[in-house]
Amino acid sequence: GDAALEAPGAQSTLIGYGQTAPETQTSVPPTLPLQQATLPIISAGDCGLAYPRAIQPSMGCNEDLAHHTPLIQACPGDSGGPVIASTPSGPVQIGVTSWGSETMNGACGEKFLPDVYMRTAAFTDFINQKDPVIEPFIKRRRGTGGGFSRPVVKLAGTPREGHKLTCKAPKLG
């Protein structure tokens, strides 16, 4: 029943602790306050033009269509933060900030590209489960000293042209 909240042109608010400007090689990441910005949602088709073959039905996109200066955009440190729509009965979380311009070598606020969020509506069944199962997971063995060892990918064969090389991934549970 919340489809209108994610319609192109609807306003969404991103909330996060991310950067506010491109990070330089010598800068130390600052401790930033919680921030928010409001951006319009764009269609999956428009988002797909910016990120061909990457946008899935479980994803939504918003973008600074007004091209503010500085550009309003999700930046490193914002991932995992909520994407909120305002309604007369209060805020509704419609997504979780995921990724954006950094996938196209865009530093924070420098490229006019959409932000991508995971649509919470796409995961309603999972969210509402009493005991959700998160699969697959890697079965790990206990390492020496009582800790857990990292899963290891094993290669078999000769890694040379003309020879067969196979990869054995860790067991999934």
Question: pLDDT tens digits for 109-121?
Answer: 888 999 999 999 9
| Predicted confidence band of residue 169 (pLDDT cuts 50, 70, 90) | confident
| Predicted confidence band of residue 159 (pLDDT cuts 50, 70, 90) | confident
pLDDT at position 23, please? 66
Question: What angle is formed at CA 145 by the lines to CA 144 and CA 150, rounded to 5 degrees?
Answer: 50
pLDDT at position 62, please? 97
Q: Higher confidence at residue 32 or residue 14?
A: 14
pLDDT at position 20, please? 76
Question: pLDDT tens digits for 20-73?
Answer: 766 665 555 556 788 999 999 999 999 999 999 999 999 999 999 999 888 899
Chain centroid to CA 27: 24
pLDDT at position 92, please? 95
Is 90's pLDDT higher than 80? Answer: yes
On whether the CB atoms of residues 59 and 44 are closer than 8 A, the answer is yes
Average pLDDT of the segment spanning 85-93: 94
